[in-house]
Structure 1
Amino acid sequence: MTGDGAASGRRRGRLRAARLSPGDVIRLGGTGLRTRPLRVFLSALGIAIGVAAMIAVVGISGSGRAEVDRRLDSLGTNLLRVAPGDSLNGTKAKLPEEAVSMIRRIPPVRQVAATGATDAHIYRNERIAIGRTGSIQVLAADADLLPAIGGHIGRGRWLDSATEDYPAVVLGATAANRLDVYTPGTRVWLGGRWFSLVGVLDPAPLAPEIDGAALVGRPAARTYLRFDGHPSTVYVRAEDSQVTRVRAVLPATASPAKPGEVRVSRPSDALAAREATESALTGLLLGLGGVSLLVGGVGVGNTMVISVLERRPEIGLRRALGATRGQIRTQFVAESLLLSLIGGLGGTVLGTAITAGYALSRDWPTVVPVWASAAGIGCTLGIGMIAGLYPAVRASRLSPTEALSGT
């Protein structure tokens, strides 16, 4: 045999270590965990407690924040009012008839509705003296006004497509008291003709001016009260995080030709306070979560180091049977990842259960951000890999004779 043929034969006869498939790696890692169930349970429990603490803190604070948002929404922190200011010649300016439709095009705007002032007056009957108006203002109202101002019907019904075209009126709570009229179906003298009362509103704390007003549908106001179509107040609900930006563009949007003649209310101070609180709370939550995960990672690393020391004979036997250093490293890293995954999943379930129980006990909405669960499991796997890498490298460096000798 020539020299080239002998070398080729030696290459063909050289033994190669078998490659481990992903299934083999998972089985190897699982075998190492199953042989020490109590230690694995305690280590996984430490990880689970850390992840559960992070998710519970994030979830409970998120649920509390949702409750605060709900209450602040009822206080109108994201409610802006657009009204005409004074024109350059000192007279009262007017908003364009298209102001509502133009404001509705702003992306962060959730709801928009308007009322328009009329010159009409309302009386209990036609025999009341003209001057005794009771300071009740008659307003043309959009059909979607109530959701925008957070109003509610106390009796009867609100104006809708079936009533806004006809002589029908809804009274605010104060206006109903002044007229001493509360029963839907009662006729009132409005604008020189009879209108039918269809509803009475509960007090509207976000828009107290509505309490002392009589509300008529915009189509009916045009037909019976000579309403000119110009809104006198536009109520705008925007996304909480975008209220300041929406306020900045409202004048030019409501009246592109004369933005200087538009007045916009300033955002509530409660909204700014909430944004500052959320920023500080987010930093606190990230700090607590990081400490919890670090504690869990230390537990994983400690478990894997002890596992390497206890399993030196096993490592030596596997090396003697042909396992490579890379396979030994892969085995111990897989064990570390499986241990971290078990703890991360258990902690996610436990943290979600704690959040739900606490939120239900306080009658809060249950909020567990998806990012918190994903971050908990992802960070746990990352920390588990880092914590298991040193023991895995240490195990792979053991020679077969050194490992079998137990020294």
Structure 2
Amino acid sequence: MRLRPRDLADEVISGVVQRPGRSLLTAVGTALALAAFVAVLGLTATTQGQVSARFTELSATEVVLERSAVDPDEPAAFPRDAQDRVAALPGVRAVGVSWPVPIGQSKVGVRPEEVDGEALSVLAASPGYFQSVHARVGQGVAFDAFHDGRAEDVAVVGRAAATRLGLTRLDAQPAIFVQGRAFTVIGVVDAVDRRQDTLLSVLVPAATATKHWGPSPASGGITSMLVDTELGAAQQVGRQAKAAARPESPEKTKVIVPPDPRALRDAVSTDLNGLFLGLAGVSLVVGGVGIANTSLVAVLERVPEIGLRRALGARRRHIAGQFLLESATLGLLGGLVGTAVGVVTVLLVSIARELTPILEPQVVYPAPVLGVITGLLAGLYPAWRATRIEPAEALRR
């Protein structure tokens, strides 16, 4: 017996249409799996672009130079001319130097007595520190080159430190005391983009700290130079800043530069794509199991029909081809619907979150084909079971 392609197509269409409810539910299962596949990969690519932009704006524009207390005879770890040289490098927006003031177990308070004070850290900072950490001053002003040049006893406190000290207003020029020394509070920092510990610290001008506690690194801590760079300039600035800051002893300066944004983004993308591809694969397996179950039930229900066709001359390959094509058809329908649903989901989420949707062609175009492959694989066992049905036994039912 010879089975023409048109006859096979008629049998497949008849098998799908005769049980519309079951066929629809099977196709819906595959559609949901493919929709999850397309939506997950599309949303992953879309959010990666947003994460990459945010990462680049903050982390990828920060270079840190550190110098520890290795030579007490040095006047300062990063003197003023070192800061000026680094600030003159191409791509540098701001330079700030800071180091912890060695106050030991002393407390900071609003009265000379340390008993009533708060255990806050005191940082010596250059005027450029506020620009480097992107500080927003809520009350008063930050100290500038005038205060630093005159080594004035002024201080700027973070919002959390001000709350602990009970400082609510600055119009009365309140003073705080560090080791019995009075400092006039001239500003309160409400927020920073970097160095969040600033909000729980008391900052005094670097020259003032040098006058009272000695220069850095003689103070015993690690002096840090924070460099805020233009987008994409961090790697180049990091290579040049070490020699520019202290050309006579660059080996004593440690430079911390952000990782290459492209390399980090590629690594993150690879990890996320692997994870979400695994999740999408599980969805496809679930859809394939649904098709296999439906096809197997159809085989069991159509045993008399299969026996009659075998008795009339249909061969095993004809029976197998019919059930395989039925499974592939259901997979194709589910793939087309699922791809459309996935694309619409990515577009709607991107619009709601004000993102730029990213849909890779290598994900969208093969999705319906993936549905067909899933249907074929799911139909292998039911088709094999159908070919094992003997005509005589089937006709006796």
TM-score by length of 1: 0.48
